[in-house]
Amino acid sequence: MFTNKTFLITGIADENSLAMKVAEKIIQNNGKVVCTGLGVTPFHKNLSEKATGFLNKSYSDFEAACKNRLGAETLTFPLDVTLPESLDSLVEFLNQNGVKLDGFLHAIAMDKTIRNKSVKPMLEVTAEEFNDTMTVSAFSLISLSHVLLMSHILQKGASIVSLSYIAAEKVSFFPYINMSIAKAALERLTIEMAYELGRDYGIRANCVRFSPYMGSKAGNATLKTEDVDRADRLSPLGNATPEDLAHEVVHLFRPETRITGEIRHVDGGFHIMG
Ligand SMILES: NC(=O)c1ccc[n+]([C@@H]2O[C@H](COP(=O)([O-])OP(=O)(O)OC[C@H]3O[C@@H](n4cnc5c(N)ncnc54)[C@H](O)[C@@H]3O)[C@@H](O)[C@H]2O)c1
């Protein structure tokens, strides 16, 4: 299906990341992947020892997971989407390696108002926390698309997929609060991009809302077992798996589909429940 096709996969933290499943599925379908992971870049300034340690560990987990699961030849590169220079340096890396992209997966989210599985009430969220979450989790879809398009790395007819959650629309039993606003923005951005990039470049943009999943770092940091179990009980088909998600993303990446501007649900039918 993906012979001679290459996709950029963001958001792999380790072997359990949702993005890892997508990368594996692309390779199974004869495609190639280039993966970015959060890590220290030359553009980070005044990092504390703790932050440097965190970023170094993030990057070594990411690299080890990619080599182990995707093969030693898989191209990997550090990326912090909040730093424009880091995005530029990704472009330079892709150009140096002669990479042209047929699409990319946006699987990036971060919200400092969620700590130890508890979430700050909306009224206590500071402007800085609000803006940080928006920048990392939503605006990055624009900034990444922008640099990849302006550099002609993202090709005409490409497909962009991002990952969201039902909380973008409804108050969920797990109070996502600040992050839900960023997810709503991410979904709305997807629709605007479907229009703009569709008209100008024939590029598709879609978003997939997925079931709660505790296996990943982000899922484990935010969700409680009872939340995941509850969603599983309520969903007509039970919670969707990372495999189900990868199947759908790969479908949306297929060059022959004319699907764009969709907010799809891979959630076992959870979204139809009252
Ligand atoms: N786990 C769930 O329950 C669930 C459900 C629906 C949607 N999602 C979404 O799926 C996506 C992937 O999450 P996951 O569950 O696989 O967790 P994960 O922790 O494996 O992935 C989150 C990724 O975001 C990256 N990231 C954070 N800040 C970054 C920055 N400044 N620059 C670059 N990368 C940065 C992290 O390094 C990590 O790789 C996220 O968008 C998440 O909101 C997750």
- Given a cut of 70, whether residue 173 has pLDDT beyond it is no
Residue 266 belongs to some domain of the structure: yes
216 alpha carbon – ligand 1 mean position (Å): 8
Question: Which DSSP symbol is given to 184?
Answer: H
54 alpha carbon – ligand 1 mean position (Å): 16
Residue 93 belongs to some domain of the structure: yes
Predicted confidence at residue 236, as pLDDT, reads 98
Residue 1 belongs to some domain of the structure: no
Q: Kindly report the protein residue whose alpha carbon is nearest to atom 28 of ligand 1.
A: 110
Rounded to an integer, what distance in angstroms lies between the CA atom of residue 155 and that of residue 149? Answer: 7
Residue 96 belongs to some domain of the structure: yes
| Number of domains composing the chain | 1
Question: Which DSSP symbol is given to 16?
Answer: T
CATH for 77: 3.40.50.720
Question: Which residues make Cβ contacts (< 8 Å) with residue 16, sequence separation at least 6?
Answer: 215, 216, 217
Find the domain containing 110 and state its range: 6-272
Pair 26, 33: CB distance under 8 Å: yes
Q: Is the CB of 250 under 6 A from ligand 1?
A: no
Q: Which of 12, 15, 38, 207 to mutate to test the pocket of ligand 1 (most atoms within 8 A of CB)?
A: 38
Q: What is the pLDDT of residues 182-225, one digit of tens each?
A: 999 999 999 999 999 999 999 999 999 999 999 999 999 889 99
**Closest CA relative to residue 105, chosen from 36, 160, 23, 145:** 160
Mean pLDDT of 10-18: 98
220 alpha carbon – ligand 1 mean position (Å): 11
